[in-house]
Amino acid sequence: MLALMRPQGSTTPGSWAATRSDPRIRPLHDLVRLLGGDAASLAPADERLPVALRRLDEDAALVHEGAPLHSLHIVRCGSLKCVRALEDGYQQVTAFALPGDVIGFDGLHRGQHIATAVALETSTVYALPLAGLQALRQRCPVLDDALQLALSRQLASAAATAEMLAAVASEVRLARFILWMAARMTALGWSPRQLRLRMCRRDIASLLGVAHETVSRSFTTMADAGLLKVENRDVESLDLQRLQARARATRSLADGRPPGAHPVALAA
Amino acid sequence: MLALMRPQGSTTPGSWAATRSDPRIRPLHDLVRLLGGDAASLAPADERLPVALRRLDEDAALVHEGAPLHSLHIVRCGSLKCVRALEDGYQQVTAFALPGDVIGFDGLHRGQHIATAVALETSTVYALPLAGLQALRQRCPVLDDALQLALSRQLASAAATAEMLAAVASEVRLARFILWMAARMTALGWSPRQLRLRMCRRDIASLLGVAHETVSRSFTTMADAGLLKVENRDVESLDLQRLQARARATRSLADGRPPGAHPVALAA
DNA sequence: CGATCGTTTGACGGTGCTCAATCACCGTGG
DNA sequence: CCACGGTGATTGAGCACCGTCAAACGATCG
């Protein structure tokens, strides 16, 4: 059932040849653990089921928008960007995928990929062929649970993206982006203060729906304000407190705080 | 809360008269069909499994942000808005849920609801208690498939929301919103040209990340251009062709196209 | 070391946010 | 029946933010 597709490595085939075990295969419990599932309660017979692994060099495309959907991918290490072509040639970045993120599920209902996924650095991803996936889920409820959870996270993540975009002021958007990335780094066990952004300004700008010059300007503004230390793609959060305050602001600066009550408070 | 009033439903052609059976219970195959699943291949023993139904009056809250997640809900008829409180009191609309949409799945990984869902009109929703859901999915692979598909749609829908928000010009955002709603109406078997928006301008504005006055202005601008006929919350699409063109535009109007090749074409 | 790409900074003009007034449409009560 | 708020939608005026165009700067790599 569980078809072991040979990963079409974009890597040079010979150089990373397996010495001891094939590096293109990992046991199932690794995947379950990555997804935050309860790997311990995997049936012993299942925990070493082979899962295909695929390695991507920087700028290599994992899948292409519109291509038939054959596998679900889960990022193991590295990072990718998901982009959609917006008909007029404009490239819209829709997400940055980090370890544990699922790629491809959003295309299930149409049978084809919704976005192109491009590696931002050398990365590896698990590949779960759709053929046999249902059987595998039935066989391993633990994997099923883990996948459900991952999808739930994915959905919440999409909401977070919308929340960033919904901010009116560009600086607020960027602050939310930084905090969001920091939160994800924390979830992965990294430091939330030291960010190494793998994507260029233009990609961030695309995700946030602003001009890339504006991203630059907002970075320097916040750096001047002592919120960040920005050195190219290395971003250090110096004052999470005030950074969160800025991310919370519905409207932009107002740094000289006129302590008058908030003008906002809307609707319902 | 749950006001059980006599449904005076002339709306649904529901031949499954609520007179005989409890109107708060529906057979499983109805839900599967709503989700776009293959109801025909349900096991005969399963197709009449009872699914709880809940009725909501306008402005009634189905679930509250932060509340523990007990059930997955699927909209049966009517519509709801999903809102999040943005810490500073601002109400951010994150989605409009239409029949077939799943509510609550995004909170699965945290065990609590991510957003508050409020009925925009008299609505009914299916309720699938999480307890026993896994067993039910195991028992009915057809339901499982249908749920997977619905979740995939949900994810793609979130991407569509982001795509609307990512448009730089507010008029473009609104055009995309109209077309997106039209597409959803088509998928539900309604006319794509006649929209009856159940939400107020402020809610649309919140979803699109613009001021509500701007929504008003954009509506009148597009109406003056002959793209729409706007009468309060009834919106008729007069020229889908040009409407799509406007939705495609990365930057705003510039209808007389300065034939210079597009400056864009990015990345990758 | 020169070419290319990414990043930053500047100047300018326009879009859209804020503030505010007006209008339309209600359901309520006089 | 018509005044009376109350809510939502529309329109106007002013100004700041940010998108566009442009150039300088920096980094990386052949």
Per-residue pLDDT tens for A234-264? 999 999 999 999 998 765 443 333 333 333 3
Chain A, nearest residue to B60 by Cα: A268
Phi, psi of B176 (to 5 degrees): -65, -40
Helices B240-248 and B170-187, axial angle in degrees (round to 10): 130
* pLDDT for the residue numbered B229: 94
* pLDDT for the residue numbered B6: 40
Chain B, nearest residue to A107 by Cα: B152
Cβ B228 vs Cβ B222: under 8 Å: yes
Chain B residues lying within 8 Å of A206, measured CB to CB: 166, 266-267
For residue A134, pLDDT over 80 is answered with: yes
Name every residue whose Cβ is closer than 8 Å to that of residue A187 and which is 6 or more positions away in sequence. Answer: none
Across all strands, nucleotide nearest B208 (CA–C1')? C16
Å: A267 CA to D2 C1': 31
* pLDDT for the residue numbered B21: 56
Across all strands, nucleotide nearest A168 (CA–C1')? C17
Residue in B162, B207, B209 closest to A94 by CB? B162
Chain A, nearest residue to B90 by Cα: A265
Minimum distance, in Å, between the CA of residue B93 and any CA atom of chain A: 9
What tens digit of pLDDT does each residue of A177-203 get? 999 999 999 999 999 999 999 999 999
Å: B91 CA to D3 C1': 35
Facing residues of B91 across strands? Answer: B85
Minimum distance, in Å, between the CA of residue B53 and any CA atom of chain A: 23
Helices B141-166 and B201-208, axial angle in degrees (round to 10): 90
Show the tokens assigned to B221.
């601008």
Contact B156 A92 (CB under 8 A): no
* pLDDT for the residue numbered A22: 61
* pLDDT for the residue numbered B249: 77
B126 three-state secondary structure: strand
Residues of chain B with pLDDT under 70: 1-23, 88, 250-268
* pLDDT for the residue numbered A9: 39
* pLDDT for the residue numbered B19: 43
Question: First and final CA of chain B: distance in angstroms?
Answer: 52
Euclidean distance between CA atoms A68 and A58, whole angstroms:
23
Å: A213 CA to D24 C1': 14
* pLDDT for the residue numbered A250: 67
Contact A156 B114 (CB under 8 A): yes
What tens digit of pLDDT does each residue of A155-179 get? 999 999 998 998 889 999 999 999 9
Average model confidence (pLDDT) for chain A? 85
Which residue is closest, via its CA, to the C1' of D11? B217
Q: Comparing A54 with B17, which gets the higher pLDDT?
A: A54
What tens digit of pLDDT does each residue of A69-128 get? 999 999 999 999 999 987 777 889 999 999 999 999 999 999 999 999 999 999 999 999
Q: On the CB side of A26, how many CA atoms lie within 13 Å of its CA? A: 17
Contacts 24+ apart (CB under 8 A), A190-197: A192/A237, A192/A240, A193/A236, A193/A237, A193/A238, A193/A240, A194/A234, A194/A236, A195/A234, A195/A235, A195/A236, A195/A237, A196/A233, A196/A234, A196/A235, A197/A233, A197/A234, A197/A235
Euclidean distance between CA atoms B73 and B2, whole angstroms:
15
Q: What H or E segment, with its residue span, contains residue B73?
A: strand B71-77
Minimum distance, in Å, between the CA of residue A117 and any CA atom of chain B: 10
Contact A162 B165 (CB under 8 A): yes
- Size of chain A, expressed as the number of residues it contains: 268
